[in-house]
Amino acid sequence: MLKIDNLSVHIWEKEILNGISFDFEKGKNYCILWKNGSGKSSLAMTIAWNPKYEISSWDILLNWESLKNLSVDERSKKGIFLSFQNIPEIPWVKLFEFLKAIYDIRQEKPISFMWFKKIIEPLVEELEIDKSFLRRDLNVGFSWGEKRKIEVLQIRLLNPSIIILDEIDSGLDVNAVKQVSTLLKKINSTENTFIIITHLFEMLEGLPIEQVLIIENWKLKETWDENLMNKIKKEGF
């Protein structure tokens, strides 16, 4: 379980979150909604950690262990995964090398390239990613849909317990949205928790949502069941 207790955050003396408390339970999925600039992405970045943020009061507990003094990589090792809104292209770093590096850092010692190949190739095949991508520079020249599939591959490889998807539909066409949505359904289990920030409800089709959180003016205004999404589809925000 991920527990947020009285979280208040500032950046450059501007308040971006105010007194948020909520429990994200294991095996359940959540959607965070409201208009741009309301604090949704700020909450995601604070959970994963952004050093620019000044936290005035808070605690974040993962399985009853405080994350308060942990760095980005330490939180990642504990099982927190945050997707990028805008996925960077990184030349000179091969996708295979990157994936092996993020896998090795979670092991007691690095494994061999041949052994990692036996781990990653079945996952690439499962997600219908061309194996040639493993030899390409990280995200360089990839379409938005391909970049998102690589993020899903990382989730599949690392098996995090808290999966935060911040507008993962950004830049995707209709077909790519359906493909990524299908992949998310395959990953969904009783052992992980999705926290999804989105404006595109098609991304959530087939993924059970336990609660919808409304963040407005940097505060947690209210929580609803998934019927709220149907209402917003018809009436807007």
pLDDT 10s digits, 112-169:
999 999 999 999 999 989 999 999 999 999 998 899 999 999 999 999 999 999 888 8
Cβ atoms of 205 and 196 closer than 8 Å: no
pLDDT at 181: 85
As a whole number, mean pLDDT of residues 195-213 equals 81
Cβ atoms of 49 and 80 closer than 8 Å: no
pLDDT at 230: 65
pLDDT 10s digits, 34-47:
667 667 788 888 88
| pLDDT confidence tier of residue 225, bands split at 50, 70 and 90 | low
C-alpha to C-alpha distance for 152 and 207, rounded to whole angstroms: 15
As a whole number, mean pLDDT of residues 64-83 equals 90
2-89+142-235 adopts what CATH topology? Rossmann fold (3.40.50)
Write out the two tokens for 73: 């990589």
Which pTM value belongs to this model?
Answer: 0.90
Annotated domain spans of the chain: 2-89+142-235
